[in-house]
Amino acid sequence: MMMVQCADLHLLDNLAGWTPMSFNIVTKNTVRDRFKSPPRPAIWKDVEDKDWNSWVWQQQKRIKSMDVLEKVINVTQEERDAFAQSHEMFNMGITPYYASLIDPNDPNCPIRLQSVPKKGELNILPSDLEDPLGEERDMPVPGITHRYPDRVLFYTTHNCPVYCRHCTRKRKVSDPSSSAANKQLEEGLAYIEAHKEVRDVVISGGDPLSNSDDRLEYILSRLRAMDHIEVFRIGTRNLVTLPQRITDAFAAMVSKYHPVFVHTHFNHPKECTQEAFDACAKLANAGCVLHNQMVLLKGVNDNPKTVMELNHKLLMMRVRPYYIYQCDLSQGISHFRTPVEVGIDIIEHLRGWTSGMAVPHFVIDAPGGGGKIPLLPQYVVKHEGKKWTLRNYKGLQFDYIEP
C-alpha cells in the first residue's frame, strides 16, 4: 500500500481545486495570441482566404513592378529611380504577404529596406565581391560547395519568394540561367554519394522550398538512403516571407526523413506574425529542429533592443537563435553593412542580460571562403600562470584558479 507523506497530502490538497475547467481558463491565453496577423493592403482586400493562404497564389502574385508596388505603398522618388537602375542586375520580387508587413508611409520601415530597391545598391565598392564567400571556387561539381571536411552545401534552385536586397548570392538568385536543372541535381547527388566523409548536407538555393514537394522529397529520400549522411539542413526564408508554404502535407512529408534541421532567417520582430508562428509550429510539431540565422543590417536590426525582442519572439516560436552574421561583402549591399563593433556590442547586451538560449553566435563569414569566424566581447581581463581574472556581464571581476 502506498504511504502518503504530509507534504504529499498538502500537494494533493492544493491540486484539489484544479478542475478541467480551471485548466482551460489558464491556457485560454496562448503564446500564439501574442503574435498578430498583418492587415491586408487594399489591393488584396477582396482576395478569398483560400487564395491568400495558398503559397502558389502568393508566388504567382509577387510584386515585380513599380506599377503594382505603388498600389501598396507610397513609393519615393529614390525607390523609383533605384528600381529603374537596379532591376537588370537584381530583380525585385515581394510576396503579397510580406508586402503586407511594410509600413506604406515609412521609407525606413525595416521590411521595406529588405525588399524594396534603394539607391545604395547602385554603389559598387572596390572591396565588394561578386562571390564574397568563394562558393564557386570550392565547387567540385555544379551546385555543390564542399569547403568544410564533413559537410557540403547543395544548391537546388535559383528562386526565392522575396528577393532580399541584402542577398549574398545576387550573382545567382533570381537569374533563371543559374537554375538547378535535373542533370545538375543528379550530379550533385552522385558527388555526395561518392564522398563518404560527408555526413551533413545543407540544402540551399535560392530557397529550396521554391521546389515542389515532390522534387524536395526526391532529394530528401535520396540523401536519407545514403548510409554516411547523418543529418541534413534545409536553409529557407519561407517561414518569414511565405509562411503559407509550410502546409500540413509538407510537414508530414519532411517528418519521414528525420533528423531534419531547418535554418531560417528572421531579421526583425515585425516578421514574427501569427502566420509565421503557425508555420514554425507545424515544422516543430513534425519533429524538425529550427534555428535562426539573422544578418546584421544597418537600419534594420543594428541595436541590442531590436535583437533581444526578436530572439525572445523566436524562442516563443520554438526557433533557437543560432547565428548573427556580419553582412557579407556582396556587390551593392555596402549600405547595409555596420562596423564589426556593432555586432560585438549586441552580444555584450545579450549575454547575461537574457537567457543563454537567446544569445546566438556572432560570426563573420570570411571573404574568399575562409569560413565562419566567431567574435565575442572580451571577458578575459588577465591571465597569469594558473590564475585567470575574468569579468561577468555586469563588469564585475572574478579570479579562477586552475588546478
Question: Per the residue annotation, which of 164, 272, 280, 288 is the catalytic one?
Answer: 164
* Nearest CA-CA partner of 59 in 96, 90, 112, 99: 96
Q: How many CB atoms lie within 10 A of CB 9?
A: 10
215 three-class SS: helix
DSSP letters, 49-72, are HHHHT-HHHHHHT-B-SHHHHTTT
- 81 as an active site residue: the answer is no
Catalytic residue among 61, 62, 151, 270: 151
Nine-digit cell string for 171: 550573382
Q: Of 167, 272, 288, 327, which residue is the catalytic one?
A: 167
Residues 61, 118, 165, 169: which is the catalytic one?
169
**Catalytic annotation on 151?**
yes
Annotated active-site residue 215? The verdict is no
Q: Residue holding cell 567574435? A: 375
Active-site hit among 40, 71, 80, 147: 147
Q: What is the separation, in whole angstroms, between the first and last Cα of the chain?
A: 51
372 in catalytic set: yes
Catalytic residue among 118, 327, 328, 337: 328
Answer yes or no: 175 catalytic.
Answer: no
- The question of whether 320 is a catalytic residue gets the answer no
Q: At residue 236, what is the residue type?
A: T
Q: Residue 103 catalytic?
A: no
Interhelix angle 213-224/182-194, rounded to 10 degrees, is 20
Question: What phi and psi, each to the nearest 5 degrees, are found at residue 34?
Answer: -80, -5
Query: Do residues 346 and 309 touch, judged by C-beta distance below 8 A?
Result: no
Q: Please, are residues 322 and 263 in contact by the beta-carbon 8 Å criterion?
A: yes
Among residues 128, 148, 213, 351, the one annotated as catalytic is: 148
Is 169 an active-site residue? yes
How far apart (Å, rounded) are the C-alpha atoms in residues 40 and 54?
Answer: 15
Query: Which candidate in 109, 160, 272, 327 is catalytic?
Result: 160
Question: Which residues carry out catalysis?
Answer: 147-148, 151, 160, 164, 167, 169, 328, 365, 372
